Structure 1
Amino acid sequence: MSNTEDQYATTKVQPKDFVSGWVVALIIASTGLSVSTLFLGSEIALSLGFEKALIAFGISTLVLTLMCMATTLIGNRSRLSTYMILHFSFGEYGAKIVNFIFGVTLVGWFAVALELLAIAIFDTAASTFSFSVSKELIIIVTSLFITFTTVYGIRSIEKVANISIPILTAFLGYIFYLSVAELESFSSLFDFVPEENGMTLFKATSILVGAAILFPVLMADFSRFIKTDKQSLASVLGLTIGTPLAYFLSAVPSIQTGEVDIIKIMEEFNMVIPAFLLLFISTWSTNATNLYSASLTFSTINKKWTFKNVVIVSSIFGTLLALFGFATYLFEFLEFLGILAPSISSIYFIHFFWIKRQRYNLDDIAKWEPSALISWVLSSLISVFTYLEVFQITGAYFLDSFLLGAVIYLAFQWKAIFKPAQ
């Protein structure tokens, strides 16, 4: 992809910067290897048991894959970023509202990853060096490093991560092998039943969908660089294979050791330091990317805000969330995303294929698109009621959000859809 930092932010990607779909698939797959993703895989496996966890991994991956397949084609055919695509479907000002939601979400992920990284550093210092340091201090110091990286050196840390992530994958595979080797039989994994089961299969599936729900919405940011339709669809395999693989590689050692914390798991195999170094680099890179993306998103709301100042403010907000223990509310946060985000995907899918008939003119952007905004708000409000089980539609509130967004938007745009093509 292009090396220019802000290239194609508001214009179409040019053929000279097209890449293979497999390159993008690897980029997408690499995002799954972070402390927060491994934590989710471990937590759900220990809460549900291995068999039900595999079902949750499978269903959530299927839902996300189908959504991504729909939206990846929009990016590939329009050659525009998600930010610009939202301009067409939601209007210039409406897109700013949606982008604000995305920015807050990314800062939330920044806070979660920051807190989990601090816990990993704290556990490593205590178990390996018998050294204790305040978690709050660790959060502040690591936040400063990540913020500095985001402003000045994100490219270098990403290059390091491109090396560390394949190594981390192989390392997790080796730990998986050691975990299986210590089992009496592989079937004993399926016999594992948690002592306290406070999580249902539906709740686990919802959490996993929420964890990656921004992928379908933001898929255009990746697929706009891909050469062909077929390759853009193939790039979705990065999520279809990579994300459940990360969950699976963390689930088995967790069941075998009874630990959720990846560092404590590695301690069982006397591999704390190499595991910590790999996780530290990959999570540092991922979190720098979270902060970078959040800051770019907030920068689009007001062009007068400088990127550097937005990074600092976003970092301060994310750090405060981490200090107040935002990771405690991770599951609720992910369920909230499952309410808000799916309808955005269905709305801009319908707008691109059925209203604009796959033709976006950069000079044809309205200030407001009330029908899209109203559809999004209404579908989100109704999905809140299905989430709270006041009444049911499909039985899955994230599917309710996706389908309601589509149905309500279709109702508003019925005449435009059946208007003869010019």
Structure 2
Amino acid sequence: MSESQDQYATTKVQAKDFMSGWLVALIIAGTGLSLPTLYLGSEIALGLGLKQALIAFGVSTLVLTIMCMATTLIGNRSRLSTYMILHFSFGANGAKIVNFIFGVTLVGWFAVALELLAIAIKDTALSAFKYTISQELIIIISSLLITITTVYGIKSIQKLANIAIPILTVFLIYILFLTLNELDSVSQLFNYVPNRSDMTLFQATSILVGAAILFPVLMADFSRFIKTDKQSLIAVLGIAIGTPLALVLSAIPSIQTGEVDIIKIMSAYNLVIPAFVLLFISTWVTNATNLYSATLTFSTINEKWSFKYVAIAASIVGTLLAMLGFSSFLFTFLEYLGVLAPSISAIYIIHFFFISKQHYDLKAIGRWKYDALLSWIISSIITLFTYQEVFQITHAYFLDSFILGGVIYMFLNRKVIAL
């Protein structure tokens, strides 16, 4: 198999496969138009009101953008995947531990998207055809279709999504126009006060950071294919513009209608069927991508494992989680992800710029890098205490994770950095 056919899993991307940063930005922005992201935008807007929701959207996007700017340069300059980059900072065995965390996270997202897709199908059948379908049955059938797509036909469904996602964006903008047209004044949106909510601005911001925290960590997987540094920074616009746009496009109609479920929102405008078709396609490909990425990640733990059987096993676990109602734990899941993941970004940023001096030697990968693992474990434990509010450092635990991971790692490597 050629390097390009296996997506340069363990080698550097060659110039013949370079692409524009604008194209990558569109790909990244498209991932935001999935049911979980739209659900988050709606939940936060209804929980906080539009004013504070916009602040949460803005602050979380700023944090993620800054982190992505650093990791996108690493991918562009090294031309290596995140999986290989983690080898240099954590060691071959240490990278497997980190990748296991990522794999579990991706299966969690698979479960959430699967459950929300099943809810959308059930609501559509009830709203459009007055027919009730078992949600568990929908989850099983949807999971089966997505798994088959992942194993055999993900490329074709991705091509379909490249058409459907831009159309969905225009469609959501049209819904936004209809919503604004119904208002006597835009101030109605900003004056909205939630009836009752335990959510705080800080919690909302943390949840949003947790929801997209894998982007900074995995940004190198995208930017390694981009032509230049400048173009790779352009790709970050997919996060900087695409993510808040998706959140706003779901938030405003939710405040107007009082609904979190996107299908019920569309029902208010008599647009259930076209909305469902577009959301179904975009969520199908997003979830196929989640399962594909999870399978690749778990496959790195043991190269003898068959891709097909790992995909099936991951799908079964995700399906069971969806049937058990995993989406009800989504916010807690994302908050804990905000504890574990930011320090990983900090560690490999520091390793690339200050320890390896922006040069990776593929022949110099060790089995274990205890300094990185120790930094990650200590920073995660301390951050867990700040998350539980036992004590505070920055009052933003995801920043605690990032800063602590970086500071501890730099301290343990102070002699090397000083050279």
Matched, 1:209 2:209: yes
SS of residue paired to 2:393 = coil
Q: Which residue of 1 aligns with 2:84?
A: 84
**How far apart are 1:6 and its partner, in Å?**
1.4
1:77-97 Cα shifts (integer Å, max 9, x gaps): 000000000000000000000
Alpha-carbon distance between aligned partners in 2 of 1:304 and 1:320, rounded to the nearest angstrom: 25
Alpha-carbon distance between aligned partners in 1 of 2:275 and 2:133, rounded to the nearest angstrom: 20
Q: Which residue of 2 aligns with 1:374?
A: 374
**How far apart are 1:187 and its partner, in Å?**
1.3
Q: Which residue of 2 aligns with 1:137?
A: 137
Distance 1:3-1:182 versus aligned 2 partners, 3 A rule: farther
Matched, 1:304 2:312: no
Q: 2:385·2:391 contact (CA, 8 Å) conserved in 1?
A: yes
Alpha-carbon distance between aligned partners in 1 of 2:4 and 2:287, rounded to the nearest angstrom: 21
**How far apart are 1:266 and its partner, in Å?**
0.2
Q: 2:49·2:190 contact (CA, 8 Å) conserved in 1?
A: yes
Alpha-carbon distance between aligned partners in 1 of 2:56 and 2:179, rounded to the nearest angstrom: 21
Q: 2:75·2:223 contact (CA, 8 Å) conserved in 1?
A: yes
Q: Which residue of 2 aligns with 1:41?
A: 41
Alpha-carbon distance between aligned partners in 2 of 1:3 and 1:357, rounded to the nearest angstrom: 26
Alpha-carbon distance between aligned partners in 2 of 1:335 and 1:410, rounded to the nearest angstrom: 26
Q: Which residue of 1 aligns with 2:261?
A: 261
Matched, 1:26 2:26: yes
Q: Which residue of 1 aligns with 2:9?
A: 9
**How far apart are 1:179 and its partner, in Å?**
0.3
Q: What are the residue-to-residue correspondences of 1:378-397 with 2, within 5 Å? A: 378-397=378-397
Matched, 1:282 2:286: no
Alpha-carbon distance between aligned partners in 2 of 1:228 and 1:90, rounded to the nearest angstrom: 27
SS of residue paired to 2:13 = coil
Q: What are the residue-to-residue correspondences of 1:332-343 with 2, within 5 Å? A: 332-343=332-343
Matched, 1:170 2:170: yes
Q: 2:3·2:11 contact (CA, 8 Å) conserved in 1?
A: no
Alpha-carbon distance between aligned partners in 1 of 2:70 and 2:150, rounded to the nearest angstrom: 31
SS of residue paired to 1:91 = helix
Q: How many residues align?
A: 418
Alpha-carbon distance between aligned partners in 2 of 1:368 and 1:285, rounded to the nearest angstrom: 36
**How far apart are 1:197 and its partner, in Å?**
2.1
Alpha-carbon distance between aligned partners in 2 of 1:348 and 1:98, rounded to the nearest angstrom: 12
Q: 2:375·2:409 contact (CA, 8 Å) conserved in 1?
A: yes
Alpha-carbon distance between aligned partners in 2 of 1:227 and 1:162, rounded to the nearest angstrom: 21
Q: Which residue of 1 aligns with 2:398?
A: 398
Distance 1:5-1:118 versus aligned 2 partners, 3 A rule: farther
Q: Which residue of 2 aligns with 1:247?
A: 247
Alpha-carbon distance between aligned partners in 2 of 1:34 and 1:93, rounded to the nearest angstrom: 33
Q: Which residue of 2 aligns with 1:96?
A: 96
Alpha-carbon distance between aligned partners in 2 of 1:239 and 1:87, rounded to the nearest angstrom: 26
Q: Which residue of 1 aligns with 2:415?
A: 415
Q: 2:257·2:265 contact (CA, 8 Å) conserved in 1?
A: yes
What TM-score, normalized to structure 2?
A: 0.99
Q: Which residue of 2 aligns with 1:53?
A: 53
SS of residue paired to 1:219 = helix
Alpha-carbon distance between aligned partners in 1 of 2:170 and 2:7, rounded to the nearest angstrom: 34
Alpha-carbon distance between aligned partners in 1 of 2:270 and 2:323, rounded to the nearest angstrom: 30
Alpha-carbon distance between aligned partners in 1 of 2:106 and 2:340, rounded to the nearest angstrom: 14
Q: What are the residue-to-residue correspondences of 1:317-332 with 2, within 5 Å? A: 317-332=317-332
Q: Which residue of 2 aligns with 1:235?
A: 235
**How far apart are 1:7 and its partner, in Å?**
2.7
Q: Which residue of 1 aligns with 2:121?
A: 121
1:306-334 Cα shifts (integer Å, max 9, x gaps): 10000000000000100110000000000
SS of residue paired to 2:61 = helix
**How far apart are 1:154 and its partner, in Å?**
0.3
Alpha-carbon distance between aligned partners in 1 of 2:139 and 2:362, rounded to the nearest angstrom: 43
**How far apart are 1:126 and its partner, in Å?**
0.7
1:177-217 Cα shifts (integer Å, max 9, x gaps): 00000011011110000010210000000000000000000
What TM-score, normalized to structure 1?
A: 0.98
Alpha-carbon distance between aligned partners in 1 of 2:134 and 2:27, rounded to the nearest angstrom: 34
**How far apart are 1:5 and its partner, in Å?**
4.1
What stretches of structure 1 of length at least 5 have no aligned partner? Answer: none
**How far apart are 1:4 and its partner, in Å?**
4.3
Further displaced range: 369-378 or 3-12: 3-12
Alpha-carbon distance between aligned partners in 2 of 1:6 and 1:123, rounded to the nearest angstrom: 40
Alpha-carbon distance between aligned partners in 2 of 1:54 and 1:80, rounded to the nearest angstrom: 35
**How far apart are 1:133 and its partner, in Å?**
1.1
1:361-398 Cα shifts (integer Å, max 9, x gaps): 00000000000000000000000000000000001000
Alpha-carbon distance between aligned partners in 2 of 1:300 and 1:319, rounded to the nearest angstrom: 22
Alpha-carbon distance between aligned partners in 1 of 2:158 and 2:73, rounded to the nearest angstrom: 27
1:255-309 Cα shifts (integer Å, max 9, x gaps): 0000000000000000000000000000000000000000000001001101000
Alpha-carbon distance between aligned partners in 2 of 1:83 and 1:5, rounded to the nearest angstrom: 17
Q: Which residue of 2 aligns with 1:219?
A: 219
Q: CA RMSD in A?
A: 0.9
% same residue: 73
Alpha-carbon distance between aligned partners in 2 of 1:4 and 1:268, rounded to the nearest angstrom: 47
SS of residue paired to 2:302 = coil
